[in-house]
Amino acid sequence: MPLTYVSTRGDAAELGFADVLLAGLATDGGLYCPTEIPPLPTITADMPYPEAATAILAPYVAGSFDEVELGAIVEEAYGVFGHPDVCPVVELEDGQYLLDLTRGPTLAFKDIALQVVARLLDAELARRQERVTVLGATSGDTGSAAINALAGRENIEVVILHPHDRVSAVQRRQMTTVTAANVHNLAVAGTFDDCQDLVKGAFADAEFRAEVGLAAVNSINWARVMCQIVYFVTAARAVRPNGEPVSFSVPTGNFGNVLSGWYAKRMGLAVDRLVVASNRNDVLTRFFETGTLETRTVEPSLSPSMDIQISSNFERLLWEASGRDSAAVAELMVELRSAGRVTVPDSWYRTVLDEFDGERLDDAGTVAEVASTYAATSCLVDPHTAVGLEAARRSPAATPMITLATADPAKFPDAVESAVGFHPELPAHLHDLFELPERFDKIDNDQAEVAAAIRKIRR
């Protein structure tokens, strides 16, 4: 029997992989999780990355994609990466390693899952003879990674909203210079929150949603979490080929990336600590200190992709920590939404603390970390990675520590320059980014304008 998926809130249909891929969020507002966690296949340190990925992902997609089809998709997806190892590991200093997730086409770790997810989605839609409109809002990395992965796909239109004049020039140009006919950028006269509300509004309109075939590839989509399991395994093997335990420090926003590390551990990977590294938006750090989840207003930081106060994927961990008590999780999530604050049962809290540590770093500490890492190792890191590195240093773990590098420093040139005194260079394939023409439409912060723009695209 192929593996199936259930919602964390227990009130949605049990689905196979392909339906979960297309659904994103469950109809009861919960997140889809695998009913069983398959055992880790044999992965060796010298295995090519696509081969390891195919072996690890096969049981999760069984019943929807066979191993041959999956293998071809994975091989093609990782062919576009700028390093033969796809996700190389470097030793920074004794016992401290960096897992480099920045070698994808848009220079952030989201490429690693989205390049595979886009191809899985397109293949499934071809099979069903359906077309969808992927709609999303971005403050930076997600939009460019989604656009790059979805550009030119036969059965998909992609519409990304960004706040006009409020994303960095590098990030905007990575979206607006893509020439594929199925890519549509809408610059909204408003903030990132306005963009998100417009996207939510479009999805909430069931009639419109069906009319234009809305779909999402945001970080709560199980397929993304699944793809990220792979590099935790390959990195552990690279550092400890014989399988001794390692620990990971993960710069965290929506809790998707570090959750994948937890799944790798559940599959059987020897992992000691999982360090959750946050910036000043420290909802998770405060949870680890107190057992209470309390959302506050989002404050902008030098690591903007972690400026989040509702870490959506944390619900998956709570569901597992509760012993899969869907009713209790549903109640808790409703309370968090309405009251902005909820304390989890003590047994769940202790289960989480058994495996995770929480750390936080402010902007001044982040700049100092970029500078000191560069001075000590000649390795230039971005502000998100710097938060992870400092958290790793504070961890008492007695194992080798692997910090995940989540973006290339050239994506955040101002913060990096303020730390090291020079401007980080874009890699060769993006050298002409500032010469290419841009293509986007400006719209007002208005639901009807979004709908009109999407209808025009679908015609």
Ligand X SMILES: *Cc1c(COP(=O)(O)O)cnc(C)c1O
Q: Which residues are catalytic?
A: 110
Nearer to ligand X by Cβ, of 133 and 406: the residue is: 406
If one asks whether residue 253 binds ligand X (CB under 6 A), the answer comes out as yes
Residue closer to ligand X (CB basis): 213 or 409: 409
Q: Residue by residue, what is the 3-state secondary structure of the chain?
A: CCCCEEECCCCCCCECHHHHHHHCCCCCCCCEEECCCCCCCCCCCCCCHHHHHHHHHHHHHCCCCCHHHHHHHHHHHHHCCCCCCCCCEEEEECCEEEEECCCCCCCECHHHHHHHHHHHHHHHHHHHCCCEEEEEECCCHHHHHHHHHHCCCCCEEEEEEEECCCCCHHHHHHHHCCCCCCEEEEEEECCHHHHHHHHHHHHHCHHHHHHHCEECCCCCCHHHHHHHHHHHHHHHHHHCCCCCCEEEEEECCCCHHHHHHHHHHHHCCCEEEEEEEECCCCHHHHHHHHCEEECCCCCCCCCHHHCCCCCCCHHHHHHHHCCCCHHHHHHHHHHHHHHCEEECCHHHHHHHHCCEEEEECCHHHHHHHHHHHHHHHCCCCCHHHHHHHHHHHHCCCCCCEEEEECECHHHCHHHHHHHHCCCCCCCHHHCCCCCCCCCCEEEECCHHHHHHHHHHHHC
**Does residue 281 touch ligand X according to CB under 6 A?**
no
Residue 71 interacts with ligand X (CB under 6 A): yes or no: no
Total residues in contact with ligand X, by rule CB under 6 A: 16
Q: Which is nearer to ligand X, 88 or 409 (CB)?
A: 409
Supply the minimum distance, in Å, between the C-beta of residue 155 and ligand X.
Answer: 26
Is 114 an interacting residue with respect to ligand X (CB under 6 A)? no
Among 185, 219, 285, 373, binds ligand X (CB under 6 A): 219
Q: Which of residues 335-394 bind ligand X (CB under 6 A)?
A: 384
The one among 307, 402, 406, 430 contacting ligand X by CB under 6 A: 406
Shorter beta-carbon distance to ligand X: residue 18 or 108: 108
Q: In the range 128-167, which residues lie near ligand X by CB under 6 A? A: 141
Is residue 249 involved in binding ligand X (CB under 6 A)?
no
Q: Shortest distance, CB of residue 406 to ligand X, whole angstroms?
A: 3
**Which C-beta is closer to ligand X: that of 56 or that of 145?**
145
Instruction: State the minimum distance, in angstroms, from the CB of residue 248 to ligand X.
Output: 12
Nearest approach in angstroms of CB 29 to ligand X is 19
Please tell me whether residue 218 binds ligand X under the rule CB under 6 A. Answer: no
Q: Under the criterion CB under 6 A, does residue 332 sit at the interface with ligand X?
A: no
Positions touching ligand X (CB under 6 A) are 108, 110, 141, 219, 251-257, 305-306, 384, 406-407
